[in-house]
Amino acid sequence: MTSQDELESTQLPAETEAALERAVESAHRHELLFSERAANIKQSAVRDVFDISIRPGLVSLAGGSPYLKSLPLDDLGRTAERIIAEHGLEALQYGGGQGMERLRQQICDVMAAEGILDADPADVVVTTGSQSAQDVAAKVFCDPGDVVLCEDPTYVGALNTFEAYQVDVQAIEMDEEGLDPHRLEQRIKQLLSEGRRIKLLYTIPSFNNPSGITMAAERRQRIVEICRENNILIVEDNPYGLLRFDGNPLPPMRAGHPDDVLYLGSFSKIFAPGVRLGWALVPRHLHRRFYLACEAVVLCPSPLTQMLVSAYLAEYDWQGHLVKTRELYSERCASMLSALGQHLPDGASWTRPDGGFFVWVTLPQGVDTYPLLYQAIDAGVVFIPGAAFTPSDEPSNKLRLAFSAVSPEEIEEGIRRLAPILRAAIEERSSRN
């Protein structure tokens, strides 16, 4: 019996059948109302496998979740209770659209730890995670058809955001030192000669998600110059900057370039993603438009979580927590690199990140990692296929592995389960030659 037969043979109560008919009819009518933009809104591959990855017994090397177990949860619970009991009328009320002044000052201290020494709290806008800041940047700067440049590969959430604004995302291949200024310049020249309008360069210069690659310090300066010469605004997304394993973050592109870089930061990786707080440090001449667009979307960032984060920064040893988690991520990264070295077949190569959450594996040309995901799930391990991280529809021979949320033992086990699948795919590929 097909599922169609099954549906038809099911006796539904008359009122359920009528409700079903109404729903189908509404769906047809409302289909006509969707904006063209809505057709471009995709579910991220990372979210796709999110539900699968929490199945018991599976080792998930898929999601880039931060490690939260070392947070002082009992103390934070008491702090949250105090905030509501003593400042509830502020914490539970609407707040200013730009975010609380005290938190914006503290955000400047966090940025100082990253190497941005001249940030003014007046230029900071607190956002609902860095994700919403990306959305606002696209909204404020991009019309349909405009070009946004980015690294290949890049963060899937940013791709989804830009594509939803009907932007033409042009991804530029990286080497082991990140975006290559020469390649960037050539692509800009070519696009301009075709009459295209390039608005933004979206970049994750430190520990790029998904590749773990970091843009070399010398390249950062040159890329800012190229973008300035071509009137392209840089959107620097730096949620992992403070997670450099050796504890010495590289100066962001924004350091020393207050007018040319829109800088995005986040509390998701250095504290907790559940507070949904990030920020934008906006060049002063762009600040008003950016802030008004943020306000139009969320009215104000959550005062309650702003007060919690503010208390965390003021009353807790947040730098000490960072030292501990950096060490933990460094250990996990080392476990992953060692397991890859031990188990992966010839023909596979991978990046060696200095920080962040991810390792990027490359298989020989012609191997498509998407179908391998299903085999991996059957074998008890999950990863994200590389195709998720590029605007191209071509199959990808890459895959992303996250080490942030799994113990060294699970990492070893996960790679051990993954290796035979990759080996078989590589052998199958070479037998086709």
Query: Which has the closest alpha carbon to 285: 260, 316, 320, 250?
Result: 260
Among residues 240 and 350, whose Cβ is nearest to ligand PMP? 240
Dig out the tokens for 262 from the structure.
Answer: 């829109």
Classify the C-alpha dihedral 82-88-94-96 as positive or negative.
Answer: negative
- Distance between CA atoms of 6 and 18, rounded to whole angstroms? 18
# residues near ligand PMP by CB under 6 A? 14
- Which of 62, 107, 150, 155 lies at the binding interface for ligand PMP (CB under 6 A)? 155
- Which of 157, 303, 385, 386 lies at the binding interface for ligand PMP (CB under 6 A)? 157
Amino acid code (one letter) for 77? G
Range in contact with ligand PMP (rule: CB under 6 A) among 128-136, 174-182, 194-202, 321-329: 128-136
- Distance between CA atoms of 349 and 400, rounded to whole angstroms? 12
In whole angstroms, the minimum distance from the beta carbon of 318 to ligand PMP comes to 16
In whole angstroms, the minimum distance from the beta carbon of 387 to ligand PMP comes to 17
Given a contact cutoff of 8 angstroms between Cβ atoms, the answer to whether 387 and 154 are in contact is no
In whole angstroms, the minimum distance from the beta carbon of 133 to ligand PMP comes to 8
Task: Provide the strand spans (E) within 220-348.
Answer: 233-237, 261-266, 278-281
- Which of 95, 129, 241, 355 lies at the binding interface for ligand PMP (CB under 6 A)? 129
Given a contact cutoff of 8 angstroms between Cβ atoms, the answer to whether 126 and 288 are in contact is no
130 binds ligand PMP (CB under 6 A): yes
In whole angstroms, the minimum distance from the beta carbon of 131 to ligand PMP comes to 3
Among residues 100 and 272, whose Cβ is nearest to ligand PMP? 272
204 binds ligand PMP (CB under 6 A): yes
Among residues 325 and 417, whose Cβ is nearest to ligand PMP? 325
- Distance between CA atoms of 275 and 305, rounded to whole angstroms? 5
Q: What is the DSSP string of 200-244?
A: EEEE--SS-TTT-----HHHHHHHHHHHHHTT-EEEEE-TTGGGB
* Host H or E run for residue 79: helix 73-91
- Which of 53, 60, 62, 64 lies at the binding interface for ligand PMP (CB under 6 A)? 64
Given a contact cutoff of 8 angstroms between Cβ atoms, the answer to whether 72 and 412 are in contact is no
- Which of 214, 266, 302, 351 lies at the binding interface for ligand PMP (CB under 6 A)? 266
In whole angstroms, the minimum distance from the beta carbon of 157 to ligand PMP comes to 6
99 binds ligand PMP (CB under 6 A): no
- Which of 278, 355, 385, 386 lies at the binding interface for ligand PMP (CB under 6 A)? 278
206 binds ligand PMP (CB under 6 A): no
Work out the angle at residue 43's Cα, subtended by the Cα atoms of residues 215 and 333, and round it to the nearest 5 degrees. 40
Range in contact with ligand PMP (rule: CB under 6 A) among 12-20, 107-115, 126-134, 425-433: 126-134
Range in contact with ligand PMP (rule: CB under 6 A) among 81-89, 127-135, 332-340, 408-416: 127-135
Among residues 239 and 355, whose Cβ is nearest to ligand PMP? 239
In whole angstroms, the minimum distance from the beta carbon of 104 to ligand PMP comes to 16
Q: Rounded to 5, what percent of the chain is helix, strand, coil?
A: 50, 15, 35
First to last CA, the chain: 42
Work out the angle at residue 363's Cα, subtended by the Cα atoms of residues 362 and 365, and round it to the nearest 5 degrees. 110
In whole angstroms, the minimum distance from the beta carbon of 128 to ligand PMP comes to 7
Dig out the tokens for 306 from the structure.
Answer: 């702003």
In whole angstroms, the minimum distance from the beta carbon of 50 to ligand PMP comes to 12
In whole angstroms, the minimum distance from the beta carbon of 173 to ligand PMP comes to 18
302 binds ligand PMP (CB under 6 A): no
Footprint of ligand PMP (CB under 6 A): 64, 129-131, 155, 157, 204, 209, 237, 239, 266, 268, 273, 278
